[in-house]
Structure 1
Amino acid sequence: MKPKLRAVIFDIYGTLLKSAAGEIHPDPKLRALIEEAHAASPHPFPEVDIREIHAALHPQLSPQEIERLAMDHEQAANPVSGMPGAAETLRRLSAMGLVLGVISNAQFYTIPLLEGCLGASVTELGFDPGLTVLSYTERRAKPDTWLFEVMRDRLLEKGIQPHEALYVGNDVRNDIDPAKRCGFRAALFTGDVSSLRLRGRSLENCGADLILASLGELPGRITG
């Protein structure tokens, strides 16, 4: 791949973490409040901070109790585990001198869950702490290009051009399309069939620069 890559940015759910949940929240009360918040947003793909939703349902609880409730609820509704090869791949990429970051539809508990599943902190795994762009902090979710635009600006501040960054995700609509629209190169991760989202397209016309059957092949694919 030319020019040389300088950064690799990852999706989390379905890419670094195996996740059983879909895009619709299973709890009807939470889902109703989330839908209300989405309807009030000016953005086409809005996001909430799930702590505010739980707080609306349980106003008697403290902020600490709300966070604990939200985490317990998430772990029950959407159990996750580390994707095979994720931690080793991240360490190999970091050792190669690549800058690592994250763009994800995510909540406050996502990074702690990732660290727990992969057995190390994000800094130990090689991630740049300034290159974490999560939907709940921006109040906008993929496939909105906003998250990628934020990352693009942060990379430019480091002197890294968009075409020098590769975005890795499992969803053609949410990951590949917006990444490409913002000038990134893109890799579609197909290693977890239950998480793969082709959205009616084939691998041949998914728009990705790379198709990855496993995370472990990524270091070799971007240097070979």
Structure 2
Amino acid sequence: MTGMLKKTILALSRPMTPKPTHIQPRLQSLPNIKSVLFDIYGTLFISAAGDIGVDTAVDNHQAFQAALHAVGLPALGGAELLKEAIEAEHRRKRAQGIDFPEVDIVAIWRQVLVGLMPETTLTDERLQQLALEYELRSNPVWPMPGLAALLAGLKSKGMTMGLISNAQFYTPLLLEAFLQKPLQTIGFDEDLCIFSYQVGEAKPSPRLFELAVTRLARFGIKTDEILYIGNDMLKDVWPASQVGLRTALFAGDARSLRLREDDPRCQGLQPDLIVKNLPDLLQVCGN
């Protein structure tokens, strides 16, 4: 099943290039860094929506119908039901005290289709294919320039690498499909791949970052030896700084750059680095 999903990713994905930003880079040497953790959408990936599609809750009727058709289901209307189901699940979880809730998109699709097609057999595999087909159409992504070189360079330095991202089951598959390697071969530690859909909370919840800090402590790595890079001052830089990490704002694509200047949590907040080209991190991280 995983192989088929990766083939779908490559078949439906097309090259994109970043849109320039007005932000100037700010680089400094951080020689004591032992671990680099990454956001994915808008940082490692160019993202047409600037974020994962679930976060943007896109109501895209054309993508909805095309995804249904691709998996052999009737191309009915109902894209708005997907958005409504996501919002309803967010409300339910907030009522339970979760400030920044996340959904499992496969469960959301099952809920929507049970209402639309109660007699249809819906296996997890079919729902995963459907969710991926919709995401690739509503929020196309492509690797950020220099991604492969950056990851290979950090791996050669012996850097401990991980991911903290608002994500769904298909997110790691995107990385593996584009780079043609499993995450562990790329250099990511499995315990440091922290995805919102598995935790049930989304950034900017500090909980995802606290999990990373706890797990890195097992390696003897302290918070000021960890660098986190993301494109969003609120969802990335703010929670990472709350738990004591060094931070880098990725400002290489206008689609995804989020400065959040009106948010009080971001006022006066400064990342340690501002990066516009991913391979520049190789110059500043570690020895």
Structure 2 residue 281 is matched with structure 1 residue 218: yes
Name the counterpart of 1:40. 92
Report if the CA contact (8 A) 1:177-1:207 is conserved: no
Structure index of larger Rg: 2
Name the counterpart of 1:8. 36
Q: Secondary structure at the match of 1:29?
A: helix
Percent identity, please.
42
Amino acid at match of 1:83: M
Deviation at 1:63, TM superposition (A): 1.1
Deviation at 1:204, TM superposition (A): 10
Deviation digits for residues 71-90 of structure 1 (CA, Å, limit 9, x no counterpart): 10111111100000011101
Report if the CA contact (8 A) 2:31-2:284 is conserved: no
Moved over 3 A (4+): 203-206
- TM-score between the two structures when normalised by the length of structure 2: 0.74
Structure 2 residue 48 is matched with structure 1 residue 20: yes
Name the counterpart of 1:209. 272
Unaligned runs of 5+ in 1: none
* CA–CA distance in structure 2, aligned partners of residues 120 and 206 of structure 1: 36
Report if the CA contact (8 A) 1:24-1:31 is conserved: no
**Aligned partner of 2:254 among 185, 193, 218:** 193
Bigger shift: 205-214 or 73-82?
Answer: 205-214
Report if the CA contact (8 A) 2:163-2:193 is conserved: yes
Amino acid at match of 2:165: S
Q: Secondary structure at the match of 1:81?
A: strand
- TM-score between the two structures when normalised by the length of structure 1: 0.94
Name the counterpart of 1:56. 111
Deviation at 1:206, TM superposition (A): 4.4
Deviation digits for residues 58-112 of structure 1 (CA, Å, limit 9, x no counterpart): 2331111111101101111111000000111011001101100000000000000
- Count of aligned pairs: 223
RMSD: 1.8
* CA–CA distance in structure 2, aligned partners of residues 115 and 87 of structure 1: 11
Report if the CA contact (8 A) 1:198-1:206 is conserved: no
Structure 2 residue 238 is matched with structure 1 residue 183: no
Report if the CA contact (8 A) 1:86-1:118 is conserved: no
Deviation at 1:205, TM superposition (A): 4.8
Deviation at 1:120, TM superposition (A): 2.4
Unaligned runs of 5+ in 2: 1-28, 60-79, 115-119
* CA–CA distance in structure 1, aligned partners of residues 199 and 273 of structure 2: 28
Name the counterpart of 1:139. 200
Q: Secondary structure at the match of 2:234?
A: helix
Q: Secondary structure at the match of 2:257?
A: coil
Deviation digits for residues 168-224 of structure 1 (CA, Å, limit 9, x no counterpart): 1000000001000001100011111211110127x9954200111110100102247
Amino acid at match of 1:211: I
* CA–CA distance in structure 1, aligned partners of residues 285 and 253 of structure 2: 21
* CA–CA distance in structure 2, aligned partners of residues 120 and 71 of structure 1: 19
Q: Secondary structure at the match of 1:46?
A: coil
* CA–CA distance in structure 1, aligned partners of residues 123 and 228 of structure 2: 38
